[in-house]
Chains A and B, each alone.
Chain A
C-alpha cells in the first residue's frame, strides 16, 4: 500500500528536440522529505513513547492517528479525542454484536491465491496460518478473514498502482476464508515483494499482507498488516513504526514455522491475531 500512487519520473525532453510553445506554468511540487528526515521523526516519536512507558503510562497497543511521519495522516486524523462508550454502562450498544458470515460467502478456492488463474503465479509460495482470538483468549469461530497483497514484484493488481514493476497475469492477490472451530485461518499465497511509495524520497514498504478481520462484535473490527520476520526495511517504514511500542510492533510480524511448510510446495508462516474491543458475551459474563 502506498501513500499516493507511485508515478514514474516526468519524461525528460529529448536532446535536441525543439521546445514547442510556452512551457506550462506548473508550480513545482514541494520536495519530498528525505529518509533521514522521516527517520529523525520516527526516532523522536519512539523516544517520546519510551519516556511515557518509563513514566508508567500503559503502552498504546494501536498507532496514534496523528503519526506525522506517515504524511497522509496529517489531514485525516480527528483532533478531538474519541467519546468513550463503556460496554458495562451501555450494554445495549449495537456495536457489541456484529455481522455474521457463512459458507455462502466464500468458496473453497478463495483461500488459495495461487489457484485463481490458469497458470502458476511467479514467486515464493507460502502458507500463512494462525488463530484469531479475542482478548479473553477465546477463538473467534466461523468468522470472515479477508486478505490482499502485492505480487512477488511488489505490484498491486490495482489501476492506481503505477509502480513500474510487472503485473502477474496469474496472480490477483485477494483471498478470504472462514475461521474454523479453533479460530484458525489458513491461506496459500506467494510472498509479496517490497515496493516504493511517495511518503518521502526513497521510501519503501516492507513486504506485507493486508488482513481484514471480524470478531463477534463490531467493536472488534480490525484491518491490519502482517509482516515477514527479519525484513531489513522495518526501521525505515513509518507505517510499521507508527506502532511505537516494540512489543506491540512485534505482534505484527509473523513467525517462520518449518512444521507448517509443505514439502516441495510452500514455506510456512504462523501469525496469530488478537482482536481488541468488548463484545456482548463479555457483558453477559461480567467482564
Chain B
C-alpha cells in the first residue's frame, strides 16, 4: 500500500469552482475541529501505541511526563500523538503502527522491522504518559537541523487540538539556529525541552494553561500556516 498522497490529476468536488488545472480557485473552507471528548478510549488507543521503537532495540529512549491543566491538576483523559523522522532521517514513515490480525481483527501491533514514526498514547488516571522511541533525528539532507518529536495533544475540554514539539538537550548548538527556538524567549523555549532524568530517559510535561500562581509555565503551542 503506497503512503497517502494527494493526486493533482484527480477530480475535485464538482460544486467547487476550479481553474484549468482542476484546482479550486480559492482554498476550500476547512471542516471545523470538535473536541475528542472523554470516550475515545475504546476506539483510538491501540496496543503498542507507545512503543515506536522496535521492542528491545538498543538505543531506545523513554520519554515520559504529565499533562496538567491551568489548576495544576493532572489531565487523565488526554491523548498524545507523536510523529518523527526515521533513524535515517526519512519522513515517509511506514504503515503498520496498528497492524491487525486478519483472522480476529485484534491489534497485533508493529512487527518491529519498520520504523513507522508514529505513536499514540492516552494519559493514565494520574495524567501521565510514557513513550518508547528512538532518539529524534534531523530530516535527511539537513543534518544540522535540531531534531525534535512533533506532538499533537487532544483532550476533553479542548475544542481544537494543540501542536507542540519535544527538543532534546544534546543538541544545544543546533537549537541556537532552530527557526522556532531561536524566536522564543528562554523561559518559553524551555517548555519545549525534554529533561534527562535517568539513563536514556527524558521527562517532558505538557502544561495546557499557565497556573494562576505561575508555578507551571504554559507549554509553547504551534499553529501552521
B36 within 8 A of A: yes
Tell me which residues across on chain A come within 8 A of B28, comparing CB atoms: 133-137, 274
- A64-B3 CB under 8 A given contacts A79-B218, A105-B100: no
Number of A-B pairs, beta carbon distance below 8 Å: 323
CB distance from B166 to the nearest CB of A (A): 11
Q: Cβ of B33 and Cβ of A223 under 8 Å apart?
A: yes
B59 within 8 A of A: no
CB 8 Å contact bits of B136-163 with A (1 = contact, 0 = none): 0001001001001010101111111111
Q: Cβ of B159 and Cβ of A222 under 8 Å apart?
A: no
Q: Cβ of A225 and Cβ of B42 under 8 Å apart?
A: no
CB distance from A100 to the nearest CB of B (A): 4
**Contacting B208 at CB < 8 Å: which of A3, A77, A84, A98?**
A77
B32 within 8 A of A: yes
B58 within 8 A of A: no
Q: Cβ of B32 and Cβ of A75 under 8 Å apart?
A: no
* Interface size class of chain A, counting residues whose CB lies under 8 Å from the partner chain: 35 or more
- A63-B100 CB under 8 A given contacts A94-B150, A104-B95, A222-B31: no
CB 8 Å contact bits of B194-225 with A (1 = contact, 0 = none): 00000000000000111000000011111111
Q: Cβ of B5 and Cβ of A141 under 8 Å apart?
A: yes
Tell me which residues across on chain A come within 8 A of B93, comparing CB atoms: 97-100
Contact stretch, chosen from A16-24, A32-40, A240-248, A260-268: A240-248
CB 8 Å contact bits of B22-35 with A (1 = contact, 0 = none): 11100111111111
Tell me which residues across on chain A come within 8 A of B1, comparing CB atoms: 101-104, 142, 178
Count residues on chain B whose CB falls below 8 Å from chain A CBs. Answer: 91
CB 8 Å contact bits of A121-149 with B (1 = contact, 0 = none): 00000000001011111111111001110
Tell me which residues across on chain B come within 8 A of A136, comparing CB atoms: 6, 23-24, 27-28
Q: Which residue on chain A has the smallest CB distance to residue B78?
A: A76
B87 within 8 A of A: no
**Contacting B223 at CB < 8 Å: which of A84, A96, A110?**
A84
Q: Which residue on chain B has the smallest CB distance to residue A218?
A: B83
- A94-B100 CB under 8 A given contacts A63-B33, A102-B1, A160-B39: no
CB 8 Å contact bits of A71-84 with B (1 = contact, 0 = none): 01111111110111
Tell me which residues across on chain A come within 8 A of B139, comparing CB atoms: 92, 94
Q: Cβ of A219 and Cβ of B224 under 8 Å apart?
A: yes
Tell me which residues across on chain B come within 8 A of A142, comparing CB atoms: 1-5
- A101-B97 CB under 8 A given contacts A148-B39, A178-B1: yes
11 residue pairs from A and B, CB less than 8 Å apart: A72-B156, A79-B70, A79-B210, A82-B221, A94-B84, A100-B93, A140-B4, A212-B43, A247-B29, A274-B29, A277-B224
Chain A interface (Cβ within 8 Å of chain B)? Answer: 1-5, 61-65, 67, 70, 72-80, 82-87, 89-90, 92-107, 109-110, 116, 131, 133-143, 146-148, 150, 156-158, 160-161, 172-174, 178-179, 181-183, 210, 212, 214-216, 218-219, 221-225, 239-240, 242-243, 247-249, 251-252, 272-281, 285
6 tightest A-B contacts by CB?
A1-B37, A102-B95, A72-B157, A102-B1, A148-B43, A99-B118
